[in-house]
Amino acid sequence: MNISLKGKTALVGGSSKGIGEAIARQLAESGASVTLMARNEGKMKSIIKEMDTSSGQEHQFLVVDFSNFEIFKKTISSFFKHNDVDILVNNTQGPSAGGALEKSIEDYQQAFDLLFKSVVLTTELALKHMQKKKWGRIINVASISVKEPLNYLALSNSIRAAVVTWSKSLAYDIAQEDITANSVLTGYFDTDRIAQLNTKKAEKMGVTPEEVRSTMEEQVPMKRIGKPEEYGYLVAFLASDKAAYITGTNIPIDGGLLKSL
């Protein structure tokens, strides 16, 4: 099966590293013109130089600060005054780790702005073009913790669950316009985020980060951590015409880690 996104434009959040970068590279390899969106301008410039342009794509980047919603709102609104996208990948950095009793109301508000408000706003802006064209793909990078909460990620558990249920509602409203909305539930992947979380867990447990990672790998039925490029393959498929009848879903990519249905 050949995945072709030739002639399509994509906007990928959090794409200066990790899963977001892998998604952006795979969409470009599949023929899309990609706009990277993240904080690190230098890193995005470097990535663009390496991205596939064999189908005549024109890649660009957008510097944003997801952690400041008012500034983000101005930046993303300005972008959509001059740009349209066919494929939107909603992805941001994760909020700080910690249990439910460790977080304040202010922490939850900040996480809501970061994970929910930014996603809804960006999607609303992107939808205008998709609805005119009667074609579009909205893909949310979520987490397996929305199905089986991780006690050390209270903020992420709570707000990402809101994103997933909102996306399900949205999918119903836009289905007849050939626009799909799906969420990918992320398991353990080899990223800086996982390394940072493992370091904090190791400090609390009095063990090494390597021991934490080893335990994590043992929990996964495949006995390994996922590769970011494997994530990119799934998103490229969901972004293509091959996935036209898939919408309103929550798709785990976790090596079989989730135990629930």
Digit-coded pLDDT (tens) for 162-215: 999 999 999 999 999 999 999 999 999 999 888 888 888 888 889 999 999 999
Question: How many domains is the chain partitioned into structurally?
Answer: 2
**CB within 8 A of 132, min separation 6: which ones?**
none
160 shares its domain with 221: no
118 shares its domain with 219: no
User: Among this protein's residues, is 245 annotated catalytic?
Assistant: no
146 shares its domain with 219: no
**In the block, residue with structure tokens 């249990």:** 99
Closest CA to 166 of 212, 206, 112: 112
* CB of 57 closer than 8 Å to CB of 32: yes
Amino acid of residue 50: E
What is the distance between the alpha carbons of residues 146 and 126, in angstroms, rounded to a whole number?
Answer: 25
- Residue 4 in domain: no
Q: Which of 152, 188, 231, 233 is catalytic?
A: 152
Q: What range defines the domain where residue 81 resides?
A: 9-187+227-253
247 shares its domain with 216: no
What is the distance between the alpha carbons of residues 153 and 158, in angstroms, rounded to a whole number?
Answer: 9
202 shares its domain with 216: yes
Summarised one tens digit per residue, pLDDT across range 54-104 is 999 999 999 999 999 999 999 999 999 999 999 999 999 989 989 999 999
Model-level pTM greater than 0.85?
Answer: yes
